[in-house]
Amino acid sequence: MANLRDGLEKKTLTTLVSSKAIGRIDKWIDKYPLEQKKSAVMAALRIAQEENQGYLTTELMNAVAQYLGMPNIAVYEVATFYSMYEHKPIGKYQICVCNSISCMLNESEELFHYLQERLGVKPGEVTQDGRFSIKEVECLGACTGAPMVMIGKEYYENLTHEKMDKILESLN
C-alpha cells in the first residue's frame, strides 16, 4: 500500500515558523525539566497555529513532534482533543458561539442558526471573502453574559440578533 507518511516531505519547525515563534516555544520548553520537554506541546501547537493563519497542518504537527522529540501520533492526539486547535483554514474572524447550559437557555442555538444564515456558511466553512467562520464551542465561563460569543480573543456578551449584526459590521 502507498505509505502516506513517506509522501510528506519532512520539514523542521525552524523552517516552518518564524524565529520569534521558535523563541516563544523555547521559552515554554524552558519551563519544564529537560527530559519532559514534551510538556510544551500545547503551547508549541498554539504558537505554530498562530503562525499559520490560525490552523494546523499535518506538516506543522509533525514538525512540532520532531522539535519536542515526541511520536507524531502523540501530537495528533493532543491537537485533535482540544477544540482550540483548528485543522482546516478559518476566517480572519472566527466566531465561537457558546452552546453550554446558560447560553443555551438564553437562545444561543437560535443565535448560532442566525449567524449561519446571515453569513451563508455552515460550521467549519469560511465565507467567500475569507473574513468569517463560525464554530460551536463549550462553556467559555461567561454565563452571566449569556448568550455570548468569542471572536479572536474578545468576548461579546448579552447578544441579540441586532447586536450581533452591529458587531459583524464593526469587524473589518
Partner 1 sequence: MSDSTTITIEIDGKSIQVKPGTMLMDIADDNDIFIPRFCYHKKLSVAANCRMCLVEVEKAPKPLPACATPVADGMKVFTKSPLAIAAQKATMEFLLINHPLDCPICDQGGECELQDVAMGYGGDVSQYDEGKRVVNDKDIGPLIETEMTRCIHCTRCVRFGIEIAGLQELGATGRGENMRIGTYIESALESEMSGNVIDLCPVGALTAKPSRYTARAWELTHHDSIAPHDCVGSNIHVHTFRGLANRVVPKNNESINECWLSDRDRFSYQGLLSNHRLRDPMIKVDGEWQETDWNTALEKVRDTIADTKENSGSDQMGFLVSPSATLEEMLLLKKLANGLDVSNIDHRLRQVDFSHQNQQPKFMSLGLPIEALDTIDAMLLVGSNPGKEQPIIAHRLRKAAKNGAEISLINHRDYSLSMPLHCQLTESYTGLVSLLAEVAQSLPGFNATSLPQEAKALFDKAEPGEDSRRIADSLNNKKISAVVIGNQAINSPCYSLIEVFARALAEQTDSTFGYLTEGANSTGACFAGIAPNRKLGGEIEDRSANTTTMLSEPRNLYILHNVEPEYDFADPVVAVETMIKSDCVVCLTPFISDDMKIYADILLPIAPFVETSGSYINIQGKIQSFKGNTPVENTQARPAWKIMRVLGNLLHIDGFEQLSSADVLQEFESELSAIKADNQANITEVCVLDSVDSKLLRSSQVNMYRVDNITRRATALQKTPAGQEDAVHINSNTAAKYNLNNASRVRVKQNSTAVGMPLKIDNSVADNSVWIAAATNVTKKLGPMFGVIELEVD
Nearer to partner 1, 81 or 169 (CB): 81
C-beta separation of 135 from 96 below 8 A: yes
- What is the arrangement of strands in the sheet containing 149-151, beginning at the earlier edge strand? 132-137, 93-98, 149-151, 154-156
Nearer to partner 1, 32 or 82 (CB): 82
Nearest-approach distance from CB 57 to partner 1, in angstroms: 11
C-beta separation of 78 from 42 below 8 A: yes
Nearer to partner 1, 4 or 34 (CB): 4
Which stretches does DSSP call E strand in 75-131? 93-98
Task: Give the residues across from 150 on adjacent strands.
Answer: 96, 155
Nearest-approach distance from CB 7 to partner 1, in angstroms: 10
Nearer to partner 1, 38 or 46 (CB): 38
Burial of residue 121 (CB within 10 Å: 0-12, 13-18, 19+) is middle
What is the binding site for partner 1 (CB under 8 A)? 1, 3-5, 8, 58, 71-74, 76-77, 80-83
Nearest-approach distance from CB 66 to partner 1, in angstroms: 14
Nearest-approach distance from CB 6 to partner 1, in angstroms: 8
